[in-house]
Chain A
Amino acid sequence: MMPNRILICGGTGCISSHSRPVMDRLEKELQQANLDQEYQIIFTGCQGFCEQGPIIIVEKDSTFYCRVDPDQVPAIVQDHLKAGRPVEELLYTNPDTGITARTRDEVVFFQKQKRLVLHNCGLIDPENIDEYIARGGYKALEKALAADPLQIIEMIKKSGLRGRGGGGFPAGIKWETARNAAGKHKYVVCNADEGDPGAFMDRSIMEGDPHAVLEGMLIAGFAIGAQEGYIYIRAEYPLAVRRLLAAIRQAEEKGFIGDKILGSGFGFRIRVKQGAGAFVCGEETALIESIQGNRGMPRPRPPFPAIKGVWDMPTNVNNVETLANIPVILGMGAGEYAKIGTQQSKGTKIFALTGKINNTGLAEVPMGITLREIIYDIGGGIKDGKKFKAVQIGGPSGGCIPAEHLDVAIDYDSLISLGAMMGSGGLVVMDEETCMVDVARFFLTFTRTESCGKCTPCREGTKRLLEILERIVEGKGEKRDLETLERLGRNIIDSSLCGLGQSAPNPILSTLRYFRSEYELHIEQKVCPAGVCKALKHYRVIPEKCKACGLCKQECPVGAITGEKKAPHVIDPAKCAKCGECVKKCPFEAIVHG
């Protein structure tokens, strides 16, 4: 008899919510209950519902457990596996409706998703190639090898697949260029640098379904006529590196990677290269420099990598998610695939939901869905009942989108017209307590640090932009600053060498576009309406509410609060360090800031 499977999420999110101790405990409890022959534990990749981790799925009746603690494992074994009564308190209850879901499909977070690329993630053991094969894995490669490379390229063109790494360039056209380019050797590079803070879809694909990425690379290699592939992965992802290396080894043993793959004349090798911590290395020409062992600095394009890439040979660079789409397209057919999405953006996109949102995690949705559906239906709305303010999309090159545009159908082009961009698909949700000037400053701090320094507009320009923003949040902003930000920002966009500089001003321009009044308040009235910018905070006691209990006086680390018994206390603004400890201590909510 095939043992029943129990799936435990082993994605990075769930591992940091301690899914390993849960697994160890389950192993022990199954043994003690003499059920270890009957049940098999599978440590899977990310389920996407990171907020509710660690997650367990009992496959025989699809029961979906969340936030499992090791001490709750005996109940699963005794009540559920032995007595057939699922453990109610571990099921997911929708906080809005109060409805409890028993299976994954009943959880709202999953209902609006269309999991094509993630179809294996969370349901297979990523370290076991047989599970990938059992679910149709490497069938697409087989199909490809039986066809003509030009047919494959036609198919990818027809599918309408655009690059998921940010730019959205049509994958089929890039492949065609690389195929037609002259070169003794050709390369496929998988861009797994995933540098946008707030994005972790590539990581989850590699950790949860590494063979899908390999299969995509193999098909790309066959189509363009390459012999070798590199996966360039950031060093911050040790688990993904381990699983990829294991997957490559297993694929070699099975004859999917090597010489004469599946008896054809096609041979292909895949090597993993670890990055060393530089955001700009996600840019394709910088990435190629880094693979070659140099400082990862971009160079002008053209020539594009498809013509002149690794060791000056034609090189097709694609993002992890783009490549993981390839087996899906070959599996369902380009025509079917092209039915999903919008006119200009086909298929699905995986978004990483983070920030002040209830259901943080990963969601794969068809292109053309609205932000409202993602944030409110899938994401469960804003944390702690706060008010939505903006969603930041596209990382350091992207922009902030305010509430009035939540109903726009999102695809590559609509986002650009809103002043944001798809980027890698990170969605950071911000509420009323987020200061938009601070957000812009945050991104500029990032791009300033990560600017490689090769071209002047980016190196010097981001520095100047940041200086101005820092002045503004410190209450030293001047009226003409806003105009300078806009002018300088446009100049940097027009004159920088690579995409980093060409998009670095976006976070400023988009917040200026939608939240200009917030900048003006910082500058003209020296007020931060969100109460974030420390220098603009003024703490004061509301005399009517103060009961003179003295707690704030005791708590203040700098002795800024004075007051006698029975008399309202006072804060000396000259001494106040604006740490906010007094607000937390006051039992009467008598201290406010603004």
Chain B
Amino acid sequence: MDPKVAALIDKYRGYEGGLVPLLQEAQDLKGYLPREVLEQIAGGMHTSLAKVYGVATFYSQFHLKPRGKNIIRVCQGTACHVRGGTEIMARFEKELGVGSGETTPDLNFTLESVACIGACGLAPVITVNDDTHGRLTPDKIPGILEQYQERGGKQ
């Protein structure tokens, strides 16, 4: 039993509709939602594991597997698609050696696709963690990865 998760459960127990924000905060804490955490939440919220699992798997934001230190989200929205979003994704896959939805073995990067981040004016767009990078071309990608590689290394 994780005491920090227990504290979150206490915070949301009496709160109607609290399951989604509870899962959000638990994931912020752990980086992902391992089975033990889902079980603890189900027990603490007096609901079934099936219900918690159902909610956690419905939303694309929740992750049941560990994720990388840096999260790269490549926009595959319409505006980005017509301005070459597919090539951006292909280049990331090539540089990182993983596919969309996967994490590099050194847990440095997770590569994901996202449907529109609302910066379509600068398509094609990606976000790395909370930073947005726009007007991309495939050739800019190694440079971007390098920025975060260094940061990851220092931490």
In contact, A296 and B120 (Cβ under 8 angstroms): no
* CA–CA, A236 and B114, complex, Å: 9
B residues contacting the other copy or chain, number (CB 8 A): 39
Jot down 13 A-B pairs with beta carbons below 8 A, ordered by A. A12-B132, A13-B134, A16-B131, A198-B78, A235-B24, A236-B117, A274-B24, A352-B120, A354-B123, A355-B82, A360-B120, A360-B121, A361-B121
Q: How far is the CB of B49 from chain A (nearest CB, A)?
A: 14
Contacts of A355 in B (CB 8 A): 78-79, 82-83, 123
Question: Distance in Å from the Cβ of A303 to the closest Cβ of chain B?
Answer: 19
- Chain B residues with CB below 8 A from A362, complex form: 121
Quick check: B125 and A200 within 8 Å, CB to CB?
no
Residue of A nearest to B58 (CB): A295
Q: How many A-B residue pairs have CB under 8 A?
A: 137
Is A225 positioned at the interface, with any CB of B under 8 Å from its CB?
A: no
A residues 408-441 touching B (CB-CB < 8 Å): 426, 428, 430, 434, 439
Nearest-neighbor residue (CB-CB) of B47 within chain A: A293
Interface 9-mer from B11-19, B64-72, B102-110, B146-154: B11-19
Q: Is the CB of B79 within 8 A of A198?
A: yes
Please report B residues at the A interface, Cβ cutoff 8 Å.
16-21, 23-24, 54-55, 58-62, 77-83, 114-123, 125, 130-135
Residue of A nearest to B17 (CB): A293
How many Å lie between the Cα of A276 and that of B20 in the bound state? 8
Tell me if A526 counts as interface (CB < 8 A to partner B): no
Q: Measured between alpha carbons, how far is A17 from B135 in the docked complex, in Å?
A: 9
B16-A197 in contact (CB<8A) = no
**Which residue of the partner chain B has the closest CB to A196?**
B116
Residues of A with C-beta under 8 A to B18: 293
Q: Does A392 count as interface, using CB distance less than 8 angstroms?
A: yes
Scan residues 269-309 of chain A and give those whose CB is less than 8 A from a CB of chain B: 273-279, 290-297
Quick check: A17 and B115 within 8 Å, CB to CB? Answer: no
Contacts of B115 in A (CB 8 A): 195, 197, 279, 446, 450
A352 to chain B, nearest CB (A): 6
Contact status B16-A434, CB under 8 Å: no
B-chain residues with CB within 8 Å of residue A15 when the two chains form the complex: 132
B55 partner, pick from A16, A294, A356, A395, beta carbons under 8 A: A294
Q: Please name the residue on chain A nearest to B116 by beta carbon.
A: A197
Say if the beta carbon of A203 comes within 8 Å of chain B: yes
CA distance A353 to B81 in the complex (A): 14
Is the beta-carbon distance between B79 and A428 smaller than 8 angstroms?
yes
Output the least CB separation between B82 and chain A (Å).
5
Q: Which interface residue of B80, B83, B114, B118 has the most chain A CB atoms within 10 A?
A: B118
Q: A276 contacts which of B17, B54, B59, B83 (Cβ < 8 Å)?
A: B59
Q: Is there contact, CB below 8 Å, between A354 and B59?
A: no
Residue pair B79, A50 in contact (C-beta under 8 Å)? no
Q: Could you say which interface size class chain A belongs to?
A: 35 or more
Q: Shortest CB–CB separation between residue A264 and chain B, in angstroms? A: 28
Q: How many angstroms between the C-alpha atoms of A296 and B57 in the bound complex?
A: 11
B24: A residues at CB distance < 8 A: 235, 274, 276
Chain B residue with Cβ nearest A428? B78
Query: Which residues of B lie under 8 Å from residue A273 when comparing CB positions?
Result: 17, 20-21
Distance A538 CA – B117 CA, assembled complex (angstroms):
35
A321 in contact (CB, < 8 A): no
Q: Assuming the A-B contacts A16-B133, A17-B122, A352-B120, are A276 and B78 also in contact, with contact meaning beta carbons closer than 8 angstroms in the complex?
A: no
Least CB distance from A392 to B in Å reads: 7
A266 at the interface (CB under 8 A from B): no
Give the Cβ gap from B127 to chain A, nearest Cβ, in Å.
8
Question: Is A238 an interface residue when CB atoms closer than 8 A count as contact?
Answer: yes
Q: Which residues on the B side are within 8 Å of A392 (C-beta)?
A: 78
> Whole-angstrom distance from the CB of A507 to the nearest CB of chain B?
10
The CA of A277 and the CA of B115, in the complex, are separated in Å by 9
Interface contact A277-B122, CB-CB below 8 Å: no
With A and B bound together, what is the CA distance between A353 and B78 in angstroms?
12
Are the C-beta atoms of B17 and A354 separated by less than 8 Å?
A: no
Nearest A residue to B90, CB-CB: A579
Chain A residues lying within 8 Å of B130, measured Cβ to Cβ, are 238
Contacts of B59 in A (CB 8 A): 275-278, 296
